[in-house]
Amino acid sequence: MDKFYFKYRNVKDVSPWSGLLNVQKLTETLQQTHNPPGSSQLVRLTNLNNSINGKDPKAMSKSELKKLLNSVVHEFNQVDDKYKEESLPIIANCIIKIGGVQEATLLSVLQHPFVSSLQAPFIDLLHRWRNSSSISDGKAVVFRAVVKLIEKLVKSTGDTKVLPSWLFDSTFLSAIADCLTDIATSRKYFDEQHRLLLKRFTGLIGVYTDCQLRWNDNNNNDKDKLVILLGPIIQCLTSSHYAHIFTNTAQKKTKMTIIENFYLLRCPSFLISYNGSRLEETMKDLLTAMLPKYITILNKIIPLVNDWKRPTIQAVNYLLQIIDHGADRFPKTAKFVSGNLKLIDHVLALINEPLFYDNLQKKSS
């Protein structure tokens, strides 16, 4: 399957739906001529997509899903590379169908070749997203579909050991880490054309945060399994983007933007969920760099506490959790934090502010 599935470098970009339309239109055109080479491949692509569309995912049995995926793998392996771009909507359609099946059915195909083959194309999409000003709509559809499937896979089982191993291998995690580093240093992710992909990428970081929380609860040896992401997350949290976004988030707004959610909620959540061997060193370095900036941020927004809405309350809550994650367990870090009297004043002010904790209680209930 890998020989066809996503070898689409140097192929002209298309819209998310034009690939499927092209398959149908090209098939009709080819059928009206003298069946030139490739026409049967396009017909098979169209028939495959029709077959996928005819399936009700919630009603599919384990055997039906396996049969469908076997058929998909077989058909993709028969198609020449020159038709790969037209296959993107079909690939996305199939991934979406898989994500819609019952959890028990989904778990039965975790090791299926189709699921296994998603790693390489998704890494390619991550590279393209990082290295280009934009990626084609067709590829963006596949990007979003793969992330949603990963979210569904992790949600469907409490045991991360049964998940596809490629989700945790160094090649895949390195591609994610590279994207995090780029987000920390580039402003292009603030642009509208990256908004939806950043939303899905943020969801992917949420998946790994959930995995770390599970490993903490089980007290197992996997706590450093995602350590390759830790440094890039810290880069995001110590970047000029973090302080700028926090300081300029309007206190009266009722919903965070995608970029605000990434920097102010998702990155802190990942750090707070990490309890591996590098935590003490990481928190020492982070707080040394960021405590002065935290104080500057709080200096500006605490006088406006009565105007705070949920986004600001959430952001401040995570900021305090970051500080606590270091100071709560490491004496040297605790001493360093307690020596910042202005920070202590701000924390005490928040403790005595009913609006802040009343809203936190509503959020957690």
Instruction: Give the tens place of pLDDT for each residue, 40-63.
Output: 776 777 788 888 888 899 999 999
Classify residue 164: in a domain, yes or no: no
CA-based nearest residue to 179, from 142, 232, 140: 232
Identify whether residues 218 and 339 lie together within a single domain: yes
Question: Per the structure, how many domains does the chain have?
Answer: 2
Per-residue confidence band for 38, with pLDDT thresholds at 50, 70 and 90: low
Identify whether residues 87 and 150 lie together within a single domain: yes
Identify whether residues 118 and 235 lie together within a single domain: no
Classify residue 332: in a domain, yes or no: yes
17-21, 85-89, 162-166, 325-329: which has the highest mean pLDDT?
162-166
What pLDDT does residue 211 have? 96
Q: Reply yes or no on whether the pLDDT at 66 is more than 70.
A: yes
Identify whether residues 212 and 151 lie together within a single domain: no
Classify residue 92: in a domain, yes or no: yes
What pLDDT does residue 353 have? 79
Alpha-carbon span 65 to 87, nearest angstrom: 20
pLDDT digits (tens, 9 = 90+) for 103-119: 999 999 999 999 999 99
Identify whether residues 190 and 339 lie together within a single domain: yes
pLDDT digits (tens, 9 = 90+) for 147-197: 999 999 999 998 999 999 999 999 999 999 999 999 999 999 999 989 999
Alpha-carbon span 329 to 59, nearest angstrom: 50
Classify residue 163: in a domain, yes or no: no
% residues pLDDT > 90 (the chain)? 59
C-alpha dihedral (57, 63, 65, 67), degrees to nearest 10: -140
Q: Domain boundary residue among 130, 155, 180?
A: 155
Identify whether residues 149 and 177 lie together within a single domain: no
Q: Reply yes or no on whether the pLDDT at 358 is more than 90.
A: no
Q: Provide the residue range defining the domain that includes 255.
A: 169-365
Identify whether residues 199 and 125 lie together within a single domain: no
Contact 107, 99 (CB under 8 A): no
Q: Is 174 exposed, middle or buried (0-12, 13-18, 19+ CB in 10 A)?
A: middle
pTM: 0.85
Identify whether residues 143 and 279 lie together within a single domain: no
What pLDDT does residue 23 have? 36
pLDDT digits (tens, 9 = 90+) for 249-261: 766 678 999 999 9
What pLDDT does residue 350 have? 87
The residue type at 62:
K
Which structure tokens are listed for 265? 């909620």
Distance of CA 357 to the CA centre of its chain: 29
List, in order, residues 6 or more apart from 191 with CB less than 8 Å away. Answer: none
What pLDDT does residue 247 have? 86
Identify whether residues 125 and 200 lie together within a single domain: no
Identify whether residues 79 and 212 lie together within a single domain: no
Ranges of H-type helices in the chain = 2-5, 18-32, 39-53, 62-78, 84-99, 103-107, 113-116, 119-131, 137-155, 170-185, 195-218, 227-237, 240-248, 258-261, 267-273, 279-301, 310-327, 331-338, 341-351, 354-364
Q: Which comes out higher in pLDDT, residue 227 or 44?
A: 227
Distance of CA 299 to the CA centre of its chain: 32
Identify whether residues 219 and 309 lie together within a single domain: yes
